[in-house]
Amino acid sequence: MRILLLSQFYPPVIGGEERHVRNLGAALAQRGHDVSVGTLMRPGSPETELDGAVRVHRLRGTLQRLSGLHADPERRHAPPFPDPELALALKRLIDRERPDVVHAHNWIYASLLPLRALSGARFVLTLHDYGLVCAKKNLMHLGTELCSGATPAKCLPCATRHYGVAKATVTTLGNWASSFAARRIVDRFIAVSHAVADHTGLTDGRAPYEVIPNFVPDDVEVPGPEDACLRELPDGDFILFVGDMMRLKGIDVLVEAYAGLSRPPPLVLIGRRLADTPTAFPPNVRSFSAWPHSAIMHAWRRCLFGVLPSTGPEACATVIMEAMACGKAMVATGIGGMPDLVDHGETGLLVPPGDAPALAGAMQALLDDRALLARLEATSLARVGRLKANAVVSRIEQVYRDVLRAAPAEVTMAAYRDSGEPSCR
């Protein structure tokens, strides 16, 4: 098949979604498919290049030129509505690549909507977050509680607090319009967890979808030589947190819980510092930022266990899969897609979000009961196979075959709502 992947960002801009798209392209190419990627232009990067066997095309959009619209100049997001310049660039790319399937990831899909009738390619859209219904993508109402559902009275004030009045109004209204169109145009949605399917309305709607998680490579090797930053890790046991050091990831809850532990090993934090990152940590907490991915994987190998106490509904946390692939147990919150990944009492422990005493109790249990920890580690390593490329990419390939085999009018929700295959679980 000829497959065009669309992602608003692509390495060297890196994150869980970007790594997923890159790994997916490489895995599909390895399986004999002709793969190209369309992504947003980044200063200093070439317009076209080869990433292994995958052709990468960087496209310009009008909103990317307006630097004042973006809080992070390294991440100038695609809008949730058609960008005329980006739509034209996508049209030219589709004419050039002539894909059988266009597989988009998150908001860049909106600029593809006007082209759907002009292309014979099938259209697959993976939802890595809650952006189909939430202008902030995180589904947290006013930043403090899980949103119970999108309504104008709730969404506009919430988005305004995040973006400001003008940007919030355009983003929210544009997102609603694109979401309405997408549910009628997209040949198949892929939700990365049951939580994403539920909260974006796919479960109760008529749009065809499947739940297929992200994945880690089949051979999760830690490349060498070791990065110099690894010398800063503790020599003995330590607990590891990887992710943005922000309240939505539960960093304040984690610090509070850690302070209540009895004789704990050091706590290591690796991730970006943001506006709501605590300004100081207890003496036995070591924080690092901007580590290369290879160094993070080394840290997973060395740690005692991992912790991800997010207070928001993580869609499908890559860090959990990476920890499992390294044979590590996780303590996580039972919210969003994390129950899809962590089997409580079997591969890790789940606690209520925002509950520091419960989090401390779960962490202390693993510190005190090494037999329990060893059992969780062994089960994690045994079950991570369902979250590796060989298992997951074959399911994505089957989605491509299904949408190519069926005309759009023949694709029904009943036929594809549940294939019977395991998702994140």
- Check residue 409 and give its pLDDT: 44
Banded model confidence at residue 232, pLDDT cuts 50, 70, 90: very high
- Check residue 410 and give its pLDDT: 46
> Which residue type occupies 193?
S
Residue 223 maps to a domain: no
Q: What is the share, in percent, of the chain residues with pLDDT greater than 70?
A: 92
Q: Are residues 200 and 264 in the same domain?
A: no
Q: Are residues 397 and 249 in the same domain?
A: no
- Check residue 53 and give its pLDDT: 97
- Mean pLDDT, to the nearest integer, of 365-382? 97
Overall residue count recorded for the chain in this entry: 425
Residue 424 maps to a domain: no
- In angstroms, the CA 319 to CA 84 distance is 36
| CB neighbour class for 21 (10 Å; exposed up to 12, middle 13-18, buried from 19) | buried
Banded model confidence at residue 425, pLDDT cuts 50, 70, 90: very low
The answer to whether 299 and 316 have CB atoms below 8 angstroms apart is no
Per-residue pLDDT tens over the stretch 184-227: 999 999 999 999 999 999 999 999 999 999 999 888 766 556 67
Q: Are residues 161 and 286 in the same domain?
A: no
The answer to whether 112 and 106 have CB atoms below 8 angstroms apart is no
Other C-beta atoms within 10 Å of 63: how many?
18
Helical (H) or strand (E) element with 74: none
Q: Are residues 178 and 240 in the same domain?
A: no
| Non-local CB neighbours of 395 within 8 Å, separated by 6+ positions | 210, 212, 419, 421
The answer to whether 147 and 86 have CB atoms below 8 angstroms apart is no
- Check residue 63 and give its pLDDT: 78
Residue 244 maps to a domain: yes
First to last CA, the chain: 29
Residue 83 sits in a domain whose CATH number is: 3.40.50.2000
Per-residue pLDDT tens over the stretch 58-72: 999 987 776 555 556
CA 363: distance to chain centroid? 25
What residues make up the domain containing 263?
A: 228-386
Q: Are residues 208 and 283 in the same domain?
A: no
Q: Are residues 269 and 303 in the same domain?
A: yes
Q: Are residues 305 and 346 in the same domain?
A: yes
- Check residue 377 and give its pLDDT: 97
Q: Are residues 204 and 237 in the same domain?
A: no
Residue 118 maps to a domain: yes
Token pair of 73 as six digits:
């100049």
The answer to whether 254 and 241 have CB atoms below 8 angstroms apart is yes
The answer to whether the predicted template modeling score (pTM) of the entire model surpasses 0.85 is: yes
Q: Are residues 147 and 165 in the same domain?
A: yes
Torsion angle in degrees (nearest 10) through CA of 240, 242, 247, 252? 10
Residue 70 maps to a domain: yes
Q: Are residues 210 and 89 in the same domain?
A: yes
Residue 422 maps to a domain: no
pLDDT mean across residues, the chain: 90
Report how many domains make up the chain.
Answer: 2
Token pair of 20 as six digits:
């997923």
Residue 65 maps to a domain: yes
Is pLDDT at 282 greater than 90 in this prediction? no
Q: Are residues 309 and 335 in the same domain?
A: yes
Other C-beta atoms within 10 Å of 389: how many?
21
Q: Are residues 234 and 214 in the same domain?
A: no
Is pLDDT at 370 greater than 60 in this prediction? yes
Per-residue pLDDT tens over the stretch 151-183: 888 899 999 988 889 889 999 999 999 999 999
Residue 278 maps to a domain: yes
Query: What is the SS3 assignment for 104?
Result: strand
Banded model confidence at residue 333, pLDDT cuts 50, 70, 90: very high
Banded model confidence at residue 415, pLDDT cuts 50, 70, 90: very low
Higher pLDDT among residues 124 and 66, named by residue:
124
Side-chain half-sphere of 198: how many Cα atoms within 13 Å? Answer: 12
Token pair of 412 as six digits:
């029904």
Token pair of 348 as six digits:
């890790």
- Check residue 259 and give its pLDDT: 94
